[in-house]
Copies of this chain bind each other. A is one copy, B any other.
Amino acid sequence: MSTTTPGSTARRAHEGRVLGALRDGPLSRAELARRVGLSRTTLSETTAELLRRGAIVVLDTDAATRRGSGRPAERLALDPGSGQYLGVDFGHRRVRAAVADATRETVASGVEHYADDTPWSERLDLAFALIDRLASEHGLHFGELQAVGIGVVGPYGGRRPDGAPVPWARRSAPDDVRGAFADRFGAPVVVDNNTRLAALAEAVSQPESATDLLYVRLSDGVGGGLVVSGRIGTGAHGFAGELGHVSVDPAGTRCRCGKRGCLETVASAPAVLAACRAQGVEVHTLDDLAAVVATSDPAAEGVLREVGAAVGRVLAMAALTLDPDEVVIGGEIVHVAPVIVEQAAATLRYELHPLPAAEPVLVRPGRLRDTDGALGALAAAFHLSPLLAGYPHPEAGRRGALREVLPESLPPRLRRAQ
Q: Which A residues lie at the B interface, using CB under 8 A?
A: 158-161, 163, 166-168, 208, 210-212, 214, 224, 226, 228-229, 231, 233-243, 245-247, 255, 257-259, 262, 313-314, 316-318, 320-326, 350-351, 353-358, 397-398, 403-404
B247 touches A323 (CB 8 A): no
Contact between chains at A324 and B355 (CB < 8 Å): no
Contact B350 A259 (CB under 8 A): yes
Residues of B with C-beta under 8 A to A236: 210-212, 323-326
- Contact assessment for B358 and A160 in the assembled complex, using a CB-CB cutoff below 8 Å: yes
Copies per complex of this chain: 2
The answer on a CB contact under 8 Å between A320 and B167 is: no
Partner of A357, one of B214, B237, B403: B237
Chain B hits for A398, CB < 8 A: 161
Query: Out of B161, B259, B358, B397, which one reaches A353, CB within 8 Å?
Result: B259
A323 touches B259 (CB 8 A): no
Residues of B within 8 A of A356 (CB): 168
Residue among A158, A237, A258, A325 with max Cβ neighbours from chain B (10 Å): A237
Chain B hits for A243, CB < 8 A = 320-321
Contacts of A354 in B (CB 8 A): 242, 245, 255, 257-259, 262
Contact B323 A246 (CB under 8 A): no
CB pair A355–B233 under 8 Å, yes or no, is no
Contact between A323 and B158 (Cβ–Cβ < 8 Å)? Answer: yes
Give 6 closest A-B pairs by Cβ, nearest first: A235-B323, A257-B354, A236-B325, A239-B323, A212-B236, A240-B323
Q: Are A325 and B237 in contact (CB under 8 A)?
A: yes
Contacts of A231 in B (CB 8 A): 229
Using Cβ atoms and an 8 Å threshold, which residues of chain B touch A163?
A: 397
CB distance from A171 to the nearest CB of B (A): 10
Given contacts A212-B235, A233-B229, contact A242 B320 (CB under 8 A): yes
Looking at A163, A326, A355, which has the most chain B CB atoms within 10 Å of its CB? A355
Complex Cα distance, B158 from A317, in Å, reads: 19
Question: Looking at the complex, which one of B161, B214, B353 makes contact with A258 (CB distance below 8 Å)?
Answer: B353
Contact A247 B314 (CB under 8 A): no
